[in-house]
C-alpha cells in the first residue's frame, strides 16, 4: 500500500501569527534605536523588548540593519501593508487634483505626517552612518528612492502646465526632494519648536512660490496624471 502523500499548505493563522510577531519586533527595535541609539541597541535587547527569542528576531526580520530599515519603511507609510507609498489612496488622490497648488498642499500634508514618524529614525541612521557602512548604504538608498518619487511628482506638475519657465524636471525633483528631508522637519519642529501646522503651511507656500508661475490657472480636464509603473 502506497504511503499517503504529504500535503504542503499555507496556514492563514500561522501567517497572521508570523506577521504579528514581525510587527512586534519592528516596533520594539524602533523604540530602542530611538531611545538608545544604533550602537547601544542589541539583538538580545530587541528580542527581550518584543518578548521573543534571539533566533526569532533573526528569522523574522534579520539583523540590526534590516530591523532599522523595516522600522523606517513602516514609519514612512504608517503600517506594514505591502503597498508602496505612491500607490496609497491618499497619495493618488493628491496627485489627481486638477490644481497644481492643491497637489503641493497635499504633498506638504503628506510630508508632515511622514516626517513626524520617521525623523527620529532618520537621525539614528545619520548618527551611526559614520561607523556602519551598511547604514551609509541605507541612507543613500533612501535618497535615491525619494528622488525617484519626486521625479514622478515633478512630471505630474509638468503635466498640469504648472512649472515656471526654465525649470527642468530634474531641478523640480531636486527642489521637492530638498523639502522632503527629515532634517528640515527635525530642525524646524523638533529644535526650533515650530508647530506642525506652521511647518506644513510654510512648505506648501514655499513650494507654490518656487515652482508655480504667477497667474497659473488649472486647465480643464486636468486631474488624471499618467500612471507610473511601480517597481
Q: What is the pLDDT of residues 3-20, one digit of tens each?
A: 555 555 568 888 899 999
Per-residue pLDDT tens over the stretch 135-170: 999 999 999 999 999 999 999 999 999 999 999 999
Q: Can you read off the three cell numbers belonging to residue 181?
A: 528631508
State whether 192 and 101 are in the same domain: yes
State whether 195 and 205 are in the same domain: yes
Q: Domain holding 43: CATH number?
A: 1.10.357.10
Write down which residue in 82, 98, 120 finishes a domain.
82
Question: What is the value of pTM for the model shown?
Answer: 0.84
Q: How many CB atoms lie within 10 A of CB 37?
A: 13
Residue range 96-113: average pLDDT? 96
**Residue 33 sits in which domain range?**
14-82
Say what the pLDDT of residue 227 is. Answer: 42
Residue 130: pLDDT band (50, 70, 90) is confident
DSSP-H helix ranges across 86-195: 89-95, 100-128, 133-159, 169-179, 182-185
Q: pLDDT at residue 124 above 90? A: yes
Residue range 183-195: average pLDDT? 95
Say what the pLDDT of residue 230 is. Answer: 37
Residue range 104-129: average pLDDT? 95
In a domain, 157, yes or no: yes
Say what the pLDDT of residue 11 is. Answer: 82
Q: Could you tell me if 111 and 85 are in contact, meaning their C-beta atoms sit under 8 angstroms apart?
A: no
Q: Could you tell me if 38 and 126 are in contact, meaning their C-beta atoms sit under 8 angstroms apart?
A: no
State whether 94 and 180 are in the same domain: yes
Q: How many CB atoms lie within 10 A of CB 77?
A: 17
State whether 44 and 119 are in the same domain: no
Say what the pLDDT of residue 231 is. Answer: 34
Amino acid at each position: 500500500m502506497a504511503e499517503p502523500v504529504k500535503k504542503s499548505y499555507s496556514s492563514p493563522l500561522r501567517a497572521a501569527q508570523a506577521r504579528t510577531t514581525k510587527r512586534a519586533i519592528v516596533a520594539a527595535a524602533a523604540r530602542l534605536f530611538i531611545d538608545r541609539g544604533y550602537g547601544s541597541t542589541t539583538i538580545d535587547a530587541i528580542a527581550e523588548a518584543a518578548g521573543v527569542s534571539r533566533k526569532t528576531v533573526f528569522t523574522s526580520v534579520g539583523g540590526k540593519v534590516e530591523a532599522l530599515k523595516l522600522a523606517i519603511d513602516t514609519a514612512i507609510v504608517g503600517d506594514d501593508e505591502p503597498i508602496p507609498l505612491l500607490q496609497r489612496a491618499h497619495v493618488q488622490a493628491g496627485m489627481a487634483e486638477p490644481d497644481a497648488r492643491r497637489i503641493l498642499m497635499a504633498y506638504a500634508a503628506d510630508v508632515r505626517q511622514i516626517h513626524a514618524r520617521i525623523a527620529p529614525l532618520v537621525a539614528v541612521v545619520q548618527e551611526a552612518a559614520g561607523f556602519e557602512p551598511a547604514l551609509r548604504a541605507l541612507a543613500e538608498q533612501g535618497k535615491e528612492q525619494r528622488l525617484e518619487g519626486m521625479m514622478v511628482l515633478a512630471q505630474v506638475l509638468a503635466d498640469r502646465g504648472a512649472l515656471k519657465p526654465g525649470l527642468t524636471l530634474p531641478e523640480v525633483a531636486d527642489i521637492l526632494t530638498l523639502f522632503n528631508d527629515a532634517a528640515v522637519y527635525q530642525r524646524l519642529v523638533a529644535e526650533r519648536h515650530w508647530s506642525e501646522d506652521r511647518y506644513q503651511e510654510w512648505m506648501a507656500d514655499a513650494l507654490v512660490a518656487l515652482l508655480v508661475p504667477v497667474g497659473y490657472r488649472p486647465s480643464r480636464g486636468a486631474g488624471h496624471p499618467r500612471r507610473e509603473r511601480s517597481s
